[in-house]
Amino acid sequence: MERPVRVIVLATKNPGKLREIRQVLRDEPVRVAGLSEFGPIIEPDEDKDTFAENARDKALYYARATGQWCLADDSGLEVDALGGEPGVRSARYAADACPPGAPRSQIDAANNARLLARLAGVGDAERTARFVCALALADPQGRVLIETRDTVEGQIGHGPAGENGFGYDPLFYVPKLGCTTAQLPPERKNAISHRGKAVRRFAALLTELLGNA
């Protein structure tokens, strides 16, 4: 007898994230649904101090709103020379420099420009940084079922390089690969990225959870 297919809502409107996570979970008895399938839902505030707390809050919020299990992520960049900035403010680091309703590409460019300005005069050895991804799965009853976290280490370059990826990818240089994450093809980036590693870790825990359900 086949196991029933479990619906898991991904708490994002980003089609790239949806495709990536569907690919990793393709062998699980789940259907990963996008938020767009559930009509308009007011977005919650992301006002916590850590990626894990924000992911947990989003998962619980959207699980209640949709009545389904919900997977949420919060991710961003931590730069050691800046005391961990931009951290949980990664996506909106320079939002104040952009007009209301600015496209994501314009906000990304402003974020990158601000980061480079903040690191002006900082030498290569002090430009260490990491991408962080925290994931949380919650159910409509208010229980957090799975939490994972992973990172990828690198350093911030002195200027953008590469056309792939998004966000801070053009500035995030991975010494062992000799390039930025924006210079990697998508499949190679997913193999080493913070989100790719966190989702694969999540998939292993999901297999265990569904087996015990």
pLDDT at residue 3, rounded to an integer = 57
User: What CA–CA distance (Å, rounded) separates 89 from 110?
Assistant: 13
45 is catalytic: no
pLDDT at residue 45, rounded to an integer = 82
pLDDT at residue 109, rounded to an integer = 93
Tokens matching residue 52: 């894990």
Q: Which helix (H) or strand (E) holds 65?
A: helix 51-66
The one catalytic residue in 57, 73, 74, 108 is: 74
Q: Which helix (H) or strand (E) holds 79?
A: strand 69-79
User: What CA–CA distance (Å, rounded) separates 98 from 103?
Assistant: 9
**Weakly modelled stretches of the chain, pLDDT under 50:** 1
pLDDT at residue 105, rounded to an integer = 86
User: For residue 90, how far is the Cα from the chain centroid?
Assistant: 10
pLDDT at residue 162, rounded to an integer = 93
Q: What pLDDT, in 10s, does the model give residues 129-178?
A: 999 999 999 999 999 999 999 999 999 999 999 988 789 999 999 999 99
pLDDT at residue 154, rounded to an integer = 97
Looking at the domain that runs over 6-212, which CATH code has it been given? 3.90.950.10
